[in-house]
Structures are given as C-alpha cells and as structure tokens.
Amino acid sequence: MNLGIVNDLFNNLKENNFVQNFMKELSNYLENTITNSSNISDTNSNFNNINLDDLTLHGEKVIGRYKDKMLNERSEILQRYSENTKEKGEMYYIYDVNSNDINSYNLCICEPGKSHEVITKSKQELPEGVTLGSVLRKQDMEFVLDNEGTENVGKEINTMIKEKLEEQREFLNSKRIEGHTYEVGEKYDGRIWLYDIDNVVDGGIEGIEEIEFPKDLYQDAKEGDLFIYQNGKYNEIAS
C-alpha cells in the first residue's frame, strides 16, 4: 500500500474523529457519578479512584467508546428508577462537585424531559450524609436523602459497568489482528491511538484506543511510528 495515501487518510481521520476532547468531557462527567460507592452495601461494588483523563474502573482503564456507553446507560438507569418510584417524589442525583465551589454539588434532575437539566446546591442546603452518587427526593419543597434509592441505583450502575468492561475486552481483542500493521496517532496517560493501515474501509482507516500497549515501547513511540501485531503482541517495524 502507498504510505503517502495512508498518511493522507490518517491525517483526515485524525482531524475529523479524534476524540480526546470528547473523552475529557465524558471523564469529567463520569468522574464522580458512575464510580461513587460509599453508600452501597455490596462489598463488591467498590470502584477505583478516577483521574480526569484516565478513567479506571475495577482496575481496568476505560476507553472513550465505552465511557460513552456507560454514560448513556447510567442515564437510562436513573430515568427508569425515577419512573418506577414516582410515589417517592421528584428524583435528583448528585453527579459532581461544582467546579467553582467545592462546597457545592451539581445535581441532575431524573425526570422525563429534564434529564439534561442541572442545578447546583450548597452542601448546607442538602441533607446530612449526602455524597457523590446519592439519590435525593424533593418532598414539601425540601431535599430528602433516599438511602434505598442510592443503594439500588448504585448496584445497578455497578453491574452495568462490569458488563461494559467485558464488552470492552471483547471489542479490543477483535481489533488486535494478527499480522496487521498499526500506525501510531496520539498518546497520553498510558493510552495510545493506533490506526490499522491494513484495514482501510470506505476511504477511512479504523483506529483503536489501545490501553494494553507494551510499556517499554510506549515510552519512545511517536506519531507515525509503525508496529506489527504478531504472536499476541506489538512489535516495532524498523524505519
């Protein structure tokens, strides 16, 4: 294959589809919503700490593609639980600490047609014991902590995360193709974007966010470098 054509395809794809900024936004949103488990009694529901650009759950890095899936399904879980428990009052979910005031929380409204509405409340305005991931109800114009809801929602989110992590493993394994050559795109936080130049479809090169790239190769890998996947691992192609 003409590498000049490959480079043009690669550059166009990178400009149009590169997802780092999107991932950062998702990480910021997911940082404290999908991972809090302090109110969950299931001892298997503990999550790892999350860094803004390096989402890690249950000891596994999460790629942008699956952050998006987790975010969407988290929203569906909240909407569904709210619908099924209407009698408890309007439902809110604490998903983040306000970026301008660490003593305030951002709450999403878990009601049909309001899923993207966010309000900010100071900790003093909220019930004692609330934390990231808490489910709240509005009753008689006041917020009430819904402990049962917090636990139920947390368990369901945790189950969903485990399922998505398994899907992610299968997805990445399907993209690591024996004998294929991969070109390096951007890298950050131990992650590296690889483009399969042996798999050009409809004028585009398929890329994957690789999270299991060898550490000894990652250090010196730079944009444009080529690696071949052989015997279950990446090997650099000498220039």
pLDDT greater at residue 47 or residue 35: 35
Structure tokens at 10: 């690669």
At 115, is the pLDDT very low, low, confident or very high (cuts 50, 70, 90)?
A: low
Give the pLDDT confidence score for residue 80 in this predicted structure.
Answer: 94
Domain boundaries, given as residue ranges, for the chain: 3-17+176-236, 31-172
CA distance 196 to 121: 47
CA atoms within 13 A on the CB side of 71: 22
Residue range 203-239, pLDDT digits in tens = 788 899 999 999 999 999 999 999 999 999 999 998 7
Residue range 152-170, pLDDT digits in tens = 999 999 999 999 999 999 9
Q: Which class does domain 3-17+176-236 fall in? A: mainly beta
The CA dihedral of 96, 131, 31, 166, to the nearest 10 degrees, is -140
Residue ranges in 56-146 assigned as alpha helix (H): 64-84
